[in-house]
Amino acid sequence: MKKILLLLVVTAFMVSCNEDYLDTSLQSTVTDEDIAKLAEESPEALLNVASSFDVGTVNSLRSYNLAGDGGHFDFGQKSVDLMMDLMSSDMINDGNGWWFDDYYKYTGRTQDRRETEIVWNSYYTIIKGANQTISLIGSLDEAQLTEALTHVLARSKIIRGMSYLQLIQIYQKGKPALSDPGVPIVDPTADLINGPGFGRLTVGDVYNQIESDLMEGYTNLEGYSRPDKTSINQNIAAGFLARYYLLREDYTKAMTYAIEAQSEGTVNANGLLDGFQFITNSEWIWGADINADTTSYYASFFAQLQSYSPVFDSNAGYTPGYTGQLGHHKTIDKNLYDAISPSDIRYNWFGPDNGYILQGNATQIYNYKFFDDTFFEADYVYMRVAEFHLIEAEAKAAMGDDAGAAQALYNLISTRDPNYTLSTNTGSDLMDEIRTHRRIELWGEGFGLLDMKRWGVGLLRDYAGSTHPNTPGSYFNLPAGSSMFTFQIPEDEINANDAITAADQNQ
């Protein structure tokens, strides 16, 4: 049995027509002939099944126990986002010896820890779900592939491309050679039970898969009008392409797709102090709409991150979650906080204990950016329009277009800070300014460690005036390019996958 292939049990979605077919074939091996027959006999049934798979895969991004760990740090994309920020210089794990502490201490990256299993299994579960849809309808000929099926297939490829993009950044160093070992690519048409496992392909192979998935998805979503912000449309695909090309240092394409993604939303300073809990916010362009039926309660992003909920605390006398009830706070590094202008509205995202912080520490600067007015029904943000103004600025600066980069930065930061003026910085000074604003703007949204690796900078916690707790196992610096920034492949994967051996392990 190949662990990488057995993370998600196929569910047979029953529809009224062709019930016998669905009851048997979808629970075993579906052949190209089976799919072609179903498409011919009942295109509606095929679309119903494919759409169910598609929705299920997207919903898994916000699901508890996605990786099968069962811990309260296993709740999908936002759990990985929190991991990436806790391993950066900019977020502090204060008063927390429980969930996420091993990421902050860099011990969770090693092969024998459940922390690396959560990351690995989360994305390969998502890939497995996307592959179900791709294998279900990807073999149809053009005459059978309706517009609706084309859109379902496109969205599945984008989700798969996103997953490989995350995996290659987490399981390889910041600037790998194309010939370096990447991560396994799972063939959706393979025999998942009896066939051989999948080994590590090269970084170049993985990049090609990501680009192919994202570009095919982007192209085939032309004309698609999504029902709401939980669905992926062409502008969201453009956002993923902007992220990918920024990683690849193809700055012209990164800039082009970033500008396109910007058109999906609007920058709005008035929405920056709402706790980042409402998908209706005009700055959000893709996210998860959480409600009483979909919340995962204490195994959730806000349970782990919010230090103070003004509405809930006023009504109930406490802030729910590991922070508000146990004092496991995620706070901001002093260096980054000091870089925020007091006239910037984002200065209000952080601050000292306001008198309501459980087990408050006078040395810490607390998070007021994220809070939930409800009992864990706050929405999850996956993409905001601000990110793509920052990508545009960074890409232009990297290409030597200082004037264009300064203007792109001004277009965003002037909406945050009325006193901000067009930057006169050039070269590396301008790039440093852009990076600082990216770190401020996207704090807590999952880019911390990934940006450190991409930029080739080290971890900085031990410095004069640092607010990182001076405790054993966490108060240290790491040089740029440290192997500690790269996660190891889970030991269980090596033991269960006959195509990966101990020799394939990261250091």
User: Is residue 493 within 8 Å of 119, Cβ to Cβ?
Assistant: no
The candidate with the shortest Cα–Cα distance to 94, out of 286, 318, 330, is: 330
State the CB neighbour count (10 A cutoff) for residue 430.
21
Q: For residue 200, what pLDDT is reported?
A: 96
Arithmetic mean of pLDDT, 239-268: 98
What percent of the chain has a predicted confidence (pLDDT) above 70?
A: 90
For residue 289, is it left (φ>0), alpha (ψ between -120 and 50) or beta? beta
Which is higher by pLDDT, 10 or 367? 367
Q: For residue 190, what pLDDT is reported?
A: 78
Mean pLDDT of the chain: 91
Please check the confidence at residue 485 and state whether its pLDDT lies above 50.
yes
Q: Which of 39-53, 366-380, 386-400, 432-446 has the least mean pLDDT?
A: 39-53
Helices within 2-95 (DSSP H only): 19-25, 32-41, 43-60, 77-86
Q: For residue 41, what pLDDT is reported?
A: 66
Please check the confidence at residue 33 and state whether its pLDDT lies above 90.
no
pLDDT bin (cut points 50, 70, 90) of residue 48 is confident
Please check the confidence at residue 12 and state whether its pLDDT lies above 90.
no
Please check the confidence at residue 6 and state whether its pLDDT lies above 50.
no
The Cα 246–Cα 392 span in angstroms is: 9
Please check the confidence at residue 15 and state whether its pLDDT lies above 50.
no
Model-level pTM greater than 0.85?
Answer: yes
Q: For residue 138, what pLDDT is reported?
A: 81
pLDDT digits (tens, 9 = 90+) for 354-400: 999 999 999 999 999 999 999 999 999 999 999 999 999 999 999 99
3-state SS, residue 181: strand
Q: For residue 3, what pLDDT is reported?
A: 45
pLDDT digits (tens, 9 = 90+) for 173-209: 999 999 999 999 999 877 766 677 899 999 999 999 9
Q: For residue 36, what pLDDT is reported?
A: 57
Pairing, β 200-202 against β 91-94: unpaired
pLDDT bin (cut points 50, 70, 90) of residue 484 is very high
Q: For residue 37, what pLDDT is reported?
A: 67
pLDDT digits (tens, 9 = 90+) for 117-138: 999 999 999 999 999 999 888 8
Arithmetic mean of pLDDT, 302-314: 96
Distances (CA, A) of 3 to 57, 160, 183, 190, 490: 19, 18, 14, 14, 11
pLDDT bin (cut points 50, 70, 90) of residue 70 is confident
The amino acid that residue 334 corresponds to is K
pLDDT bin (cut points 50, 70, 90) of residue 50 is confident
pLDDT digits (tens, 9 = 90+) for 213-228: 999 999 999 999 999 9
Arithmetic mean of pLDDT, 453-471: 96
Q: For residue 54, what pLDDT is reported?
A: 85
Q: For residue 34, what pLDDT is reported?
A: 59
User: Is residue 364 within 8 Å of 307, Cβ to Cβ?
Assistant: no
pLDDT bin (cut points 50, 70, 90) of residue 39 is low
pLDDT digits (tens, 9 = 90+) for 410-427: 999 999 999 999 999 999
Q: For residue 98, what pLDDT is reported?
A: 79
Please check the confidence at residue 21 and state whether its pLDDT lies above 80.
no
Burial of 143 (C-beta count, 10 Å sphere; 0-12/13-18/19+) = exposed
The candidate with the shortest Cα–Cα distance to 162, out of 434, 446, 398, is: 446
3-state SS, residue 370: coil
User: Is residue 224 within 8 Å of 151, Cβ to Cβ?
Assistant: yes
Please check the confidence at residue 32 and state whether its pLDDT lies above 70.
no
Arithmetic mean of pLDDT, 429-445: 98
Please check the confidence at residue 14 and state whether its pLDDT lies above 60.
no
Arithmetic mean of pLDDT, 246-264: 98
Q: For residue 84, what pLDDT is reported?
A: 98
User: Is residue 180 within 8 Å of 203, Cβ to Cβ?
Assistant: yes
